[in-house]
Amino acid sequence: MVEFELEGTEQYALESYQWLLERILIDMGITNMIERVKFVIRPDQTLFIISLKVKQAGGKRPVHDIAEMEQQEGGTFITIKDESYAPRLLASLWRLYGRERVQQLTRLEIFVEGVPVRELEDLKLDPEEGVRSQLLDAMWRLLPEGLKIRNEYFNDNVMTIVATEHGMTVDFIAEAQKVHTSMIKGEED
Amino acid sequence: MYEVLMFDGGVHKVDELLDLIEDVGGFVLQRTQVQVMITLTIAIPAEDRPLIEKKTAELGGKIVEVPLAGTEIAVIGPTLGRHHMPHPICDIAEHLRRYGAITIVMGLARGRGRKTCQISAAEKAIIEEYDAAIFMLGNFKECVTHEKIDLYKDIQIPVVTVVGPELESLPHCEALVCGVGRKVERMRRSEEIAKLEEIADRVKEVIDKRRQEIEEDPLFVHPSEVKDALDDMEAVQVCLRPAPVVLHVDGLRVKIPYKKHLHELEELEVYGRKLKDIAVISDCRLGDSTIIKIKTKAEVEGKVRG
């Protein structure tokens, strides 16, 4: 369940944008990737800030975190535990060792020929480049079309966009950075 | 006074109904036949309605009220941006069609934004060719009440405004419906359909008022009578565009090029008079069509006397 935090001058606008984002996320099938959302909407100042926090702990994930590996004769046998990483793991293995040496036995079982376990243990999977672009797409769909002046802030887990119509002011930027930092801090608590 | 109704029934003996409509001096505005079922949008003198109803019952069909038949309505949003799809304005336009209106959906070129929203003179002129306009203005109260109302301020036709937040009233518009803002999916929940009904009701009221105003100074002929004459024109018969002749409350839109057919249209005979004497024929702002505004009885007869 996504946690929403709403701040602004118009209750209807806040509630309707929360509802819109929920529908967009359901539509794109990425509701479970988001942990928290904060909106700051002040139509009188033409200010719109949205900040999203991604659920998955960020950074690169080592392979042993998402799969079990077993040394076998002639290679390594991998059993994937976290299904959502399966396509990315397979793609990385193909890229590193070529398609001839990586066999996908079943949906969640992979055999890599001629590669020892310790070599694979060092492999890390890049976090969600795809997810990030999907989130950006969701935010882009949500943002009011007229607010063309936009600034973005992001780190591994939090993405914040501040949008306005005429000119970005120092106050808007400061407020967006404050929201962004508070969302990052939220994850440490 | 003509009344527009829709007959819904089978094709068996429908010729008898068509003959009756002709006998009472009525017209068929639209005929849609799907296999053995047929729907006819008809305009008949109001006093002859019982005759038509009797015949319909005899044929096993039914008469449906289409209060917005004979009108063309523009549904306008500040933007048709792809990322706003699906638009509630499409749902509104679709819903009004169920009441017989012909609707178009229009997005403004620079209508989005708060302080930056604008409407051009050309856009206003296009909108004013319709019988009524519905403006959909969005979710932000501040933005709607301070800036967006300027979009329709000078428009000369009745305007129904649809907004998200609850408002008491808005200036410059004939009717206001609150609670329909941006959507990312079709309006299909019961409360949303109730809102669509509410919008249709407001539009009906606005159109009824317009019709009453016209009745005070009645038109020389009903637009459907001109349509009947236009239907005999070769250019209209070979026109492949959907609904080549569209009725308005006080005139018609004929989807044939103005420049090419002006003379022919001017010379068209309606009840022994030339069309140019009983109507103002002008070029349409939008795509090779012609707008015909029928003059009032007073205008036509006054001119003859003079």
What are the domain boundaries of chain B?
2-65, 72-213, 223-305
Question: Are residues A160 and A183 both part of a single domain?
Answer: yes
Please identify, among A79, A110, A125, the residue that sits at the C-terminal boundary of a domain. Answer: A125
Question: Are residues A145 and A109 both part of a single domain?
Answer: no
Please identify, among A105, A125, A145, the residue that sits at the C-terminal boundary of a domain. Answer: A125
Question: Are residues A120 and A173 both part of a single domain?
Answer: no
Q: Is the pLDDT of residue A56 over 80?
A: no
pLDDT in tens, A94-117: 888 888 889 888 888 999 998 888
The answer to whether residues A178 and A149 touch, using CB atoms and an 8 Å cutoff, is no
Question: Are residues A69 and A48 both part of a single domain?
Answer: no
The CATH number of the domain holding residue A150 is 3.30.980
Q: Which of A28, A145, A149 to mutate to test the interface with B (most CBs of B within 10 A)?
A: A145
Interface of A with B in 22-81 (CB under 8 A): 23-24, 27, 41, 43-44, 46
pLDDT for the residue B93:
95
Q: Is the CB of residue B15 less than 8 Å away from at least one CB of chain A?
A: no
Q: Is the pLDDT of residue B189 over 60?
A: yes
d(CA A132, nearest CA chain B) in Å: 18
Question: Are residues A53 and A133 both part of a single domain?
Answer: yes
pLDDT for the residue A9:
92
Q: Is the CB of residue A13 less than 8 Å away from at least one CB of chain B?
A: yes
CA-CA distances (angstroms) from residue A183 to A34, A58, A164, B76? 12, 14, 21, 39
The answer to whether residues A92 and A102 touch, using CB atoms and an 8 Å cutoff, is no
B103 beta partners: B73
Question: Are residues A111 and A27 both part of a single domain?
Answer: no
Measure the N-to-C terminal CA separation of chain A; round to a whole number of Å.
19
User: Which domain covers residue A155, as residue numbers?
Assistant: 3-57+128-188
DSSP conformational letter for B99: T
CA-CA distances (angstroms) from residue A46 to A129, A153, B13, B141, B248? 31, 19, 64, 12, 40
pLDDT for the residue B120:
95
B224-228, Cβ contacts within 8 angstroms, sequence gap of 24 or more? B224/B2, B224/B4, B224/B27, B224/B29, B224/B43, B224/B70, B225/B27, B225/B270, B225/B271, B226/B251, B226/B252, B226/B270, B226/B275, B226/B279, B226/B292, B226/B294, B227/B27, B227/B29, B227/B252, B228/B27
Strand order in the sheet with A109-113: A67-72, A75-80, A109-113, A102-106
Which residues of A are less than 8 Å from B112 in CB distance? 144-146
pLDDT for the residue A127:
59
Please identify, among A109, A125, A141, the residue that sits at the C-terminal boundary of a domain. Answer: A125
Q: Do B140 and A10 touch (CB under 8 A)?
A: yes
> Based on the structure, what is the number of domains in chain A?
2
| pTM listed for this prediction | 0.82
The answer to whether residues B78 and B112 touch, using CB atoms and an 8 Å cutoff, is yes
Question: Are residues A120 and A133 both part of a single domain?
Answer: no
Q: Do B184 and A20 touch (CB under 8 A)?
A: yes
Question: Are residues A132 and A53 both part of a single domain?
Answer: yes
Helix axes A129-142, A11-28, angle to 10 degrees: 140
At the second CATH level, the architecture of B72-213 is: 3-Layer(aba) Sandwich (3.40)
Q: Which of B108, B114, B189 to mutate to test the interface with A (most CBs of A within 10 A)?
A: B114
Whether complex ipTM tops 0.90: no
Question: Are residues A38 and A74 both part of a single domain?
Answer: no
Could you give the CA distance from residue B183 to residue B89 in angstroms, rounded to a whole number?
A: 10
How buried is A56 (Cβ within 10 angstroms: 0-12 exposed, 13-18 middle, 19+ buried)?
A: middle
pLDDT in tens, B193-243: 999 999 999 999 999 999 999 989 999 999 988 998 999 999 999 999 888
DSSP conformational letter for B241: S
pLDDT in tens, B65-124: 899 988 999 999 998 887 777 789 999 999 999 898 999 999 999 998 888 899 999 999
Which residues of B are less than 8 Å from A9 in CB distance? 142
The residue behind tokens 């047929």 is B38
Q: How many CB pairs under 8 A join A and B?
A: 65
Mean pLDDT of chain B: 91
Give the gyration radius of chain A's Cα atoms. Answer: 21
Pairing of strands B159-163, B132-136: parallel
Nearest C-alpha in A relative to B179: A12
Name the CATH code of domain B2-65 (choices 1.10.1200.10, 3.90.950.20, 1.10.10.10, 3.30.70.260): 3.30.70.260
Question: Are residues A16 and A52 both part of a single domain?
Answer: yes
Question: Are residues A109 and A136 both part of a single domain?
Answer: no
